A and B are shown apart, each in its own frame.
Chain A
Amino acid sequence: MTDSVTNPLRDATDRRLPRVPGPCALVMFGVTGDLAQKKLLPAIYDLANRGLLPPGFALVGYGRRDWDTEQFTDYVSESVKAHARTPFRAEVFRQLAEGLRFVSGAFDSAEGFEALRSTLTEVDAAQGTEGNHVFYLSIPPAGFDQVIEQLRRHSLVDKTSTRPWSRVVIEKPFGHDLASARELEQRVSSVFNSNDVFRIDHYLGKETVQNLLALRFANQLFESIWNRNYVSHVQITMAEDIGIGGRAGYYDGIGAARDVIQNHLLQLLALVAMEEPTSFEAGNLRAEKEKLLAAARAPRSLKSHTARGQYTAGWAGGERVKGYLQEDGIPHDSQTETYAAFRVDIDNRRWAGVPFYLRAAKRMPRRVTEVALMMQPAPHLPFHLNDTEQLGANALVLRIQPDEGVALRFGAKVPATPMEIRDVTMDFNYGTSFAESSPEAYERLILDVMLGDPPLFPQHTEVELSWKILDPILDYWADKNTQPEGYAAGTWGPPSGKTMLERDGFVWRRP
């Protein structure tokens, strides 16, 4: 790590100098998968192109293919050429190529892991990676146990050592309920130090989190209305326009709540609702998120304030699409929900009585993730009733994707009318005021792992607290043992999703 040494060439005010990680090897499991091919490998190249990879770097792919290093290099080169954000430069790829290795083996193969071990010893010398290793598990949850067990058995990780270090990256879902999350945590922490475990939520890039923190805590304008005195309720939406595609094996039995609400939406909720952290240092930020998640709970009436649905065949965006039960690989009686919505109540001074409505779904009319703070109506309107007929509630909308930005909705007089007031939107887009090609979320994530920067990665306490909120809802749905309510693909979800808000006197905004 860099902070233990005083480097005469560094200066806190020298903002041009990037932090470049120390030497290390990145071992990637699942390197032939979609995610690695489209996101991870290109992100590594982009880092190299931006001069952010250390000269001592190696990338070791582990997989079942019977490849040699040359074939692996071709594969990486193709993936980079097709998906990298920055232009392809031969000399940058040459730098990367010198550290590429491929080890052929299955997750349960003892020979494979022995070969991995000798490859790591080889690159540690030839590429000067000095025994620092990142293990990136870009694999389905079923493989976690096997790989972690093999790493332990072949002593590829020394938990007690900080120099050289070993880190592990795992992706959501982190378990499928509280009990399994705890089990996973135990297994991982028996091999890795808890500071060396990086849980990645690729929906929630570091940039987004930092933008949120800046908006909330760098401005006077917003924080003063950020409480129950002004906010009537909050709507957090993650809508996807796609179906489950080729992910049947992963998705069925998991469903929308486990897939994205447990990690992504509850993290967004925590960031939006938490108190101001003492500093943005890892521990302080985490403390605030944990406090908030501990104060949040499932609604008292699960019957009235939860909704689940499953998309049925229909027309979405001008295309005929299958229903969930007709998708390839889905059992025809599957009860997995593709639409999940529920209310979360937060029992603290700032938010008591302000419901937070969360919804996540597939096959919605469009792809959008946003957090909308819906304001209370003005206490008194000194206008005629018809003047304000078109006036809705003021809203502050934090758009996460696409087109990350902030929109403010408020009433304005329609010009050339006596006094007619209508909603207008003031829209700010990060894309038009700042970098058009901002670093991909994965570049930041990989860089942070190599630097050993944990601040924005949730730790297991947060994961467990999230499951505590979700578990009662999942149990309630499981006990019902009925088919989720159908909704036509390409619509905004089933009727129960709407009535859930209507009971409280609200409606979902159309994102």
Chain B
Amino acid sequence: MITTIKGTTSAGVQTAISEIRHNLGAGSGMVFTLLVVADAADVDEVRDACLEAGREHPSRIIIATDGSSRSDRMDAEIQIGQDVPGEVITLKFHGEVAQHKASALLPLLLPDSPVIAWWPGAGPAHPSTDDIGVLASRRITDAMGSEDPVAALVERACCLAPGDTDLTWTRLTPWRALLASALDRPRGTVLSGSVHADAHNAPGLLLAAWLRSRLGVDVTFDANAGPGISQVTLTTDEGEVRVTRTDGKMATFSAPDSPTLAVALRRREVPALITEELRVLESDHVFTATMAELASDDSLTQFTSGS
């Protein structure tokens, strides 16, 4: 059921939700509140991602976006039931209200459960001090959503607060899983490594930083044509472990004393990323350590668009 209310308040939205719930006779088993701050142009795409994530994590999802009207008001669209296990509320802020979004969001947070903020596009420079960011215990940004992903990621790495996370990191999980499982069996000591990716690929830089921080050896970043990350090599004293992916979908895996094998390694879409992100709400020490490693690397400026 979709209900649209023009010019409303948080209390108005709350009343509408209760009415719909009552009519549906539906119980609520929602596990958290997800605040999404999106560009008006991206709202449909973002809502689709939220619906997919909401299927795994029934929650109250509030998408906040700027409206174009000049009058000062808030419009709400409430979607409950049908294909949504939780609630999806789209709030459009017009005029001056747009400067005070947090005041409208605060009353709508579910009691007693975690609050997560997500900026699918270019997020604030300091999410943890942002008006909406402070409402949340976990703040998800996406460096790839900004114009200069590498610069955005480096900036986040320099001011990372507990609870901050970035989808750049989430994009790496399949790569990290494959590399980690390659070292589950003894392969001798890793001597060095390299990551090949297109020049402005923030995930590639972060992957190199992760390998550096875990292995304590030199891991070079080599720019090529991509797409995305195209190759990772770990040189051990027994030979090379190598994962090569040239089409963004299918990779080959090779290691000493092992045939070359095919592995599906598709670049994942945002809905899959946000779903994974919502699954891990505890603090991620490995991410923190990796970002610290990234922040201490001064060679990165060559990969930002500004250089």
Contact status A9-B173, CB under 8 Å: no
Q: How large is the interface on B (under 10, 10 to 19, 20 to 34, 35 or more residues)?
A: 35 or more
Please, which residues of chain A bring their CB within 8 A of the CB of B249? 91
Stretch at the interface among A17-25, A73-81, A108-116, A393-401: A17-25
Query: Could you tell me the distance in whole angstroms from the C-beta of B296 to the nearest C-beta in chain A?
Result: 19
Contact status B180-A89, CB under 8 Å: no
Contact status A10-B180, CB under 8 Å: yes
Q: Is A433 interfacial (CB-CB < 8 Å)?
A: yes
Query: Could you tell me the distance in whole angstroms from the C-beta of A141 to the nearest C-beta in chain B?
Result: 36
Contact status B215-A8, CB under 8 Å: yes
Q: Is B225 interfacial (CB-CB < 8 Å)?
A: no
Q: Which chain A residue lies CB-closest to B286? A: A14
Interface string of B214-246 (1 = CB under 8 A from A): 111000000000000000000000000000000
- Complex CA distance for A432 and B58, rounded to whole angstroms: 6
Complex partner residue of A89 from B57, B185, B253, B266, CB under 8 angstroms: B266
Contact status B184-A5, CB under 8 Å: yes
Q: Is B111 interfacial (CB-CB < 8 Å)?
A: no
Q: Which chain A residue lies CB-closest to B282? A: A15
Q: Is B259 interfacial (CB-CB < 8 Å)?
A: yes
Q: Is A503 interfacial (CB-CB < 8 Å)?
A: no
Please, which residues of chain B bring their CB within 8 A of the CB of A56? 258, 261
Q: Which chain A residue lies CB-closest to B58? A: A432
Interface string of A86-121 (1 = CB under 8 A from B): 000101101100100000000000000000000000
Please, which residues of chain A bring their CB within 8 A of the CB of B85? 432, 436
Contact status B259-A7, CB under 8 Å: no
Contacts A91-B250, A95-B262, A128-B261 hold; do A16 and B215 have CB atoms under 8 A apart? no
Interface string of B141-181 (1 = CB under 8 A from A): 00000000000000000000000000000100110111111
Please, which residues of chain B bring their CB within 8 A of the CB of A11? 214, 285-286
Query: Could you tell me the distance in whole angstroms from the C-beta of A499 to the nearest C-beta in chain B?
Result: 37
Contacts A13-B286, A51-B178, A94-B262 hold; do A436 and B55 have CB atoms under 8 A apart? yes
Query: Could you tell me the distance in whole angstroms from the C-beta of A408 to the nearest C-beta in chain B?
Result: 13
Contacts A14-B286, A432-B29 hold; do A20 and B264 have CB atoms under 8 A apart? no
Please, which residues of chain B bring their CB within 8 A of the CB of A9? 176, 179-180, 183, 211, 214-215
Query: Could you tell me the distance in whole angstroms from the C-beta of A58 to the nearest C-beta in chain B?
Result: 10
Q: Which chain B residue lies CB-closest to A92? A: B264
Q: Is A179 interfacial (CB-CB < 8 Å)?
A: no
Q: Is B276 interfacial (CB-CB < 8 Å)?
A: yes
Contacts A11-B286, A89-B266 hold; do A127 and B259 have CB atoms under 8 A apart? yes
Q: Which of B182-216 contact A (CB under 8 A)?
A: 183-186, 190, 211, 214-216
Q: Is A383 interfacial (CB-CB < 8 Å)?
A: no
Please, which residues of chain A bring their CB within 8 A of the CB of B27? 427, 432
Scoring B174, B176, B185 by chain A CB atoms within 10 A of each residue's CB, the highest score goes to: B185
- Complex CA distance for A49 and B265, rounded to whole angstroms: 9
Contact status A128-B259, CB under 8 Å: yes
Contact status A7-B177, CB under 8 Å: no
Please, which residues of chain A bring their CB within 8 A of the CB of B183? 5, 7-10
Q: Is A126 interfacial (CB-CB < 8 Å)?
A: yes
Q: How large is the interface on A (under 10, 10 to 19, 20 to 34, 35 or more residues)?
A: 35 or more
Query: Could you tell me the distance in whole angstroms from the C-beta of B251 to the nearest C-beta in chain A?
Result: 9
Q: Is B56 interfacial (CB-CB < 8 Å)?
A: yes
Complex partner residue of B176 from A16, A22, A48, A428, CB under 8 angstroms: A16
Contacts A9-B183, A16-B176, A91-B266 hold; do A126 and B29 have CB atoms under 8 A apart? no
Query: Could you tell me the distance in whole angstroms from the C-beta of A438 to the nearest C-beta in chain B?
Result: 9
Q: Is B280 interfacial (CB-CB < 8 Å)?
A: yes
Contact status B261-A5, CB under 8 Å: no
Interface string of A54-91 (1 = CB under 8 A from B): 11100000000000000000000000000000000101
Query: Could you tell me the distance in whole angstroms from the C-beta of B195 to the nearest C-beta in chain A?
Result: 14
- Complex CA distance for A91 and B267, rounded to whole angstroms: 12
Please, which residues of chain B bring their CB within 8 A of the CB of A429? 29
Contact status A94-B250, CB under 8 Å: yes
Contact status A22-B184, CB under 8 Å: yes
Q: Which chain B residue lies CB-closest to A97? A: B262
Complex partner residue of B285 from A13, A17, A94, A428, CB under 8 angstroms: A13
Q: Is A437 interfacial (CB-CB < 8 Å)?
A: yes
Q: Which chain B residue lies CB-closest to A18? A: B177
Contact status A54-B181, CB under 8 Å: yes
- Complex CA distance for A434 and B280, rounded to whole angstroms: 13
Q: Is B131 interfacial (CB-CB < 8 Å)?
A: no
Q: Is B31 interfacial (CB-CB < 8 Å)?
A: yes
Q: Is A483 interfacial (CB-CB < 8 Å)?
A: no
Contact status A127-B261, CB under 8 Å: yes
Q: Is A160 interfacial (CB-CB < 8 Å)?
A: no
Interface string of B265-299 (1 = CB under 8 A from A): 11000000000100010101110000000000000
Contacts A89-B266, A95-B262 hold; do A436 and B280 have CB atoms under 8 A apart? no
- Complex CA distance for A126 and B170, rounded to whole angstroms: 33
Residues of B within 8 A of A (CB): 27, 29-31, 55-58, 85, 170, 173-174, 176-181, 183-186, 190, 211, 214-216, 249-250, 253, 258-259, 261-266, 276, 280, 282, 284-286
A-B contact sample (6 more), CB < 8 A, given A5-B185, A8-B215, A128-B258: A9-B179, A16-B173, A17-B180, A49-B264, A98-B262, A434-B31
Q: Which 5 A-B pairs have the closest CB atoms?
A: A20-B181, A433-B29, A432-B29, A9-B180, A55-B261
21 example contacts (A-B, Cβ-Cβ < 8 A) are as follows A8-B216, A9-B179, A13-B286, A16-B173, A16-B284, A18-B177, A19-B181, A20-B184, A22-B181, A22-B185, A23-B258, A54-B181, A55-B263, A56-B261, A91-B264, A92-B266, A95-B262, A95-B264, A428-B29, A429-B29, A434-B57
